[in-house]
Chain A
Amino acid sequence: MRYHYFPGCTLKGQAKNMENTTMAAAAALGIELVELEEWQCCGAVYPLYEDELITLLSPVRTLAAAKGEPLVSLCAACHHVLKRAQELMQRNEEARKKVTDYLEVEYTGEGRVLHFLEVLRDDLGFDKLADMVKKPLEGRKVAAYYGCLLLRPSKVMQFDDPENPTIMEDMLKAIGADVVKSPYRTECCGAYLSVTEEAVARDTVSRIIDSARSVGAEALITACPLCRYNLENCAAEDGKEPLKIYYFSELLAEAMGLQFDQLMSAALERRRSSNGNK
């Protein structure tokens, strides 16, 4: 299984750990993720004005670079923008013509755009993943936190049921964790309000964390760097042991029996090979 891989900026900085653990786990699972050459910004936010085309240049360039072959990303925000840009290219002929003419590329919306979790579910299969797990996370009470970007708008993202998603819980089950479900797993994390109106983000994050605690969770997993930032930085300081927040891939790598030093050496190897490319 070979895929084009689009990292995005956050995965090279703040969320480096998501990339490192995913790469190591993917290698152990026989999934090859090949980083796109000279990739650029994903576009960061999908424009809500249909005539705001400038923001689409970057994601469409990425989509075209995959040449119709499957394209995988990890960051929920990158995946969101790429998937929605693709859908617009399929649906809106006028926008497609303007953007592709400007970029001087041929692109008509072809190719699968996948989040790595979808690769695990749809291409590898959670049953197979369960068979390949080396160190099941037995007895670890973990809750999934989805946020919004992967799920909505559900007709475009086609990721999972936006109200009752199961993909992350299914992954947790496959890696042997003791899955608990919190009713707040699809609520907003506060998004960028953690920067401009922190009080709002504190409210939303506290609810998510309290709710997860109340169902007995020891840890939360997420696929979104912004969600993780908020969950870690906006939680109320109530004297309780803070809930552990992980990227889904961290637990995945752990269940695949990958140790810290293996992860580090894999990361180093990639660094060197990408330097060698230049």
Chain B
Amino acid sequence: MPRTGVFICHCGTNIAGTVDIEKAVEASRNFPGVVHADDYRYLCSEMGQDLIKKAIEDNKLERVVVGTCSPRMHEGTFRKAAAEAGLNPYLLEVANIREHCSWVHKDIEEGTPKAIALLRAAVAKAVLNESLDAPELEVEKRALVIGGGIAGIQAAIDIAEAGYEVDVVEREPSIGGRMAQLEKTFPTLDCSACILTPKMVEAAQHPNINLITYSEVEEVKGFVGQFDVKIRQKARSVDPVKCTGCGVCYEKCPAKASSEFEMGLSKRKAIYVPFPQAVPNVPVIDRDACLYFRKGRCQICEKECPPQAIVYDQKDEFIERRYGTIIVATGFDQMSPSQYGEYGYGQHPDILTGLEFERLFNASGPTGGKVVRLSDGKPPKKVVFVQCVGSRDKARGMNYCSKICCMYTAKQAVLLKEKVPDAKSYVFYIDVRTAGKGYEEFQRRAAEEYDVAYLRGQVGKIFPEGDHLVVHGVDSLSGKIIEIKADMVVLAAASIARADAPDLGRIVGINSDSYHFFNEAHPKLKPVETHTAGIFIAGACQAPKDIPDTVAQASAAAVKAVGLLSKDFLKGEACTAEVNQAECSGCMYCEAVCPYSAINPVEIEERYHGGTLKRTVAEVNPALCQGCGSCTVICRSGSVNLKGFSNEQILAEVDAICLQR
């Protein structure tokens, strides 16, 4: 029986308040194999760790059990301490007597026997622990950024500047994302394009950045340090090498389709670049709209293209590359307010969403930068802004606050006043939320200097009457019902996750919350990490956020990625599966359930009745195995074992809890 030591942490009163420590220490002394038991107020402190180290040396301990908080918190700390005292770190076992015991039980009468049972189980397992070594894994020194909006661009530039190669995959024909659609940015009113396009150009020209536009990630295999990614590069129908970006093709193209970039407010050609500053400045043919693809005739673009860059028979191509790390920065969508029948969205051209209204300010937008009603081309004199359309709405929308609407509404009201000086804005709000540097000051300026009337209350009905829109709302501060005959209504529709975010999450292997925003590993302390090692998130795909927060998060994700790429090797998983090939029948169920493709069939030769027999058995590639344990569960003959969590060890724990009550 290995010489075992038990150490119990008080965690202040976190554990000691509900567990009789003295009793637990006494009980531990009687467990089989235990030669030493002790307790300390904070074992995770330096003095606490020294206590463990000294006891290992003084008592020649071969196994250590620490009764403390969850192994997710301090298993690493204690394993390191054990290693420093000369013990293989995998010979140390943590009994979670805080989250699993003291925090969930009311009093010492309930907590103490539970803690003792958990300690007994941990000792029973620990005596069966074996020394393990984590394999070293090579790191592919290249990063993948999914999404070419401001988050993806910023992350890519930061990684490239640190000296590593980075590929940016963007679904649309150009990088730029949502920020490219904006006219000005709050709270300083700098022109969005003026601050974004230099970054787009920098990304395009950086020797370490490779832009893969009009492409989507189709498959991600592998693990941290070695992600094998398959990217579908959709057929542009234009040769990007020959194309000079002259624009003759889309000038001459006779076919039109609704412009995604203009939120459907205007048309684009079938061959198009989404916006004038597109990067790369190479058009794509929308095959659903192109006359040649639909009806087999036209080919005007091919005839007109000076460098003859049109390639109608171009096919989708696949890029397969290995990356050390991945940053997901896929952004957000705007909820369609059409489910709010009372707001009449979609029933009248002068009822717009915030992002649609934004395009009216833009010089290259659907109205050439004139803020006018889409119904009759006249400038709007009275504009009603409705906040929280779909946000903060438990009954019919999203529970959360979309965070950006209060500020962009104030911005749009200010811009409106500048474009149409005799315009009057009304803002219906639930609360005005302006947390951020310079934000409150900006919003107050809108209200005080730009004549924006803030009305605390909600809108109940919007309908056309004559050539204006009647808005019925309530001013809850005065208790009055308000009726405004408006020329235009702007609905601050909720920011929502991309419709296909769950699909991408499944491909990449990260999870999302109930709204389909990607989950960070810890809401405070791991804001850009995910639960999958080597995959980071940035920007509005994690939660609604404004540009400053997005850029900060993108740089944070880049630092994490660079930190990983700067290592030549990573410590792999020590607790991997192994197959007892003598018992394995070769059914290969384990191969079918392995999420990491770490199990393969191999042929072995066995002596059999004097001759030799060839048969197929399973083999685990320890470099790929992540120790999830799926194979050990599916194995019918019990011949797969997870190192550090063998069937024998688990049963010893169960026996220790069940048999010795």
Contacts and interface: CB of A to CB of B under 8 A. Distances in A.
Interface string A161-189: 11110000000000000000001000100
A248 B613 CA distance: 88
Given A183-B463, A183-B465, A164 B341 contact: yes
Interface string A141-168: 0000000000000000000011110000
B461 A183 contact: yes
A187 B470 CA distance: 14
B461 A162 contact: no
Contacts of B342: 163
Contact of B341 (A163, A187, A214): A163
Interface size class of A (residues with CB under 8 A): under 10
Contacts of A163: 340-342
B341 A162 contact: yes
Chief secondary structure at chain A's binding surface: loop
Nearest to B347: A164
A164 to B, nearest CB: 5
Contacts of A187: 461
Interface size class of B (residues with CB under 8 A): under 10
Interface in B444-486: 461, 463-465, 470
Interface in B325-379: 340-342
Interface in B384-400: none
B458 to A, nearest CB: 14
A183 B341 contact: no
Nearest to B341: A163
A149 to B, nearest CB: 18
Contacts of B340: 163
Nearest to A153: B395
A214 B463 CA distance: 14
Contacts of A161: 341
Contacts of A164: 341
A183 B469 CA distance: 11
Interface centre among A161, A163, A187 (most CB of B within 10 A): A163
Contacts of B463: 183
A163 B347 CA distance: 13
Contacts of A162: 341
Contacts of B461: 183, 187
A26 B268 CA distance: 55
A164 B463 CA distance: 11
Interface centre among A162, A164, A183 (most CB of B within 10 A): A183
Chief secondary structure at chain B's binding surface: strand
A161 B341 CA distance: 8
A208 to B, nearest CB: 13
A168 to B, nearest CB: 16
Interface string A212-253: 001000000000000000000000000000000000000000
A163 B463 CA distance: 11
Nearest to A163: B341
A161 B463 CA distance: 16
A238 B342 CA distance: 29
Contacts of A214: 465
A214 B465 CA distance: 9
A183 B464 CA distance: 8
A163 B340 CA distance: 8
B397 to A, nearest CB: 14
Nearest to B462: A183
A128 to B, nearest CB: 28
A162 B395 CA distance: 14
A163 B460 CA distance: 10
Nearest to B464: A183
Contacts of B470: 183
Nearest to A214: B465
A71 B513 CA distance: 43
A154 to B, nearest CB: 10
Interface string B202-219: 000000000000000000
B368 to A, nearest CB: 33
A39 B341 CA distance: 38
Interface in B52-94: none
Nearest to A182: B463
Contacts of B341: 161-164
A142 to B, nearest CB: 19
Nearest to B339: A163
B343 to A, nearest CB: 9
A214 B470 CA distance: 14
B522 to A, nearest CB: 37
Nearest to A155: B395
B530 to A, nearest CB: 36
A163 B470 CA distance: 16
A163 B461 CA distance: 9
Interface string B173-217: 000000000000000000000000000000000000000000000
A146 B464 CA distance: 19
A161 B465 CA distance: 22
Interface in B489-515: none
A214 B340 CA distance: 25
A162 B342 CA distance: 9
Interface centre among B341, B464, B470 (most CB of A within 10 A): B341
A183 B340 CA distance: 15
A165 to B, nearest CB: 9
Contacts of A183: 461, 463-465, 470
B592 to A, nearest CB: 43
Nearest to A165: B341
A182 B341 CA distance: 15
A163 B345 CA distance: 12
A161 B342 CA distance: 11
Interface in A186-214: 187, 214
A161 B461 CA distance: 15
A187 B461 CA distance: 9
A162 B465 CA distance: 21
Nearest to B483: A207
A164 B340 CA distance: 10
B395 to A, nearest CB: 9
B336 to A, nearest CB: 15
Interface in B565-609: none
A262 B461 CA distance: 43
Contacts of B465: 183, 214
Interface in A55-112: none
A136 to B, nearest CB: 29
A226 B462 CA distance: 26
Interface in B18-48: none
A162 B464 CA distance: 18
Interface of B: 340-342, 461, 463-465, 470
Given A164-B341, A187-B461, 11 more contacts: A161-B341, A162-B341, A163-B340, A163-B341, A163-B342, A183-B461, A183-B463, A183-B464, A183-B465, A183-B470, A214-B465
13 contacts: A161-B341, A162-B341, A163-B340, A163-B341, A163-B342, A164-B341, A183-B461, A183-B463, A183-B464, A183-B465, A183-B470, A187-B461, A214-B465
3 A-B pairs with least C-beta separation: A163-B341, A183-B463, A164-B341
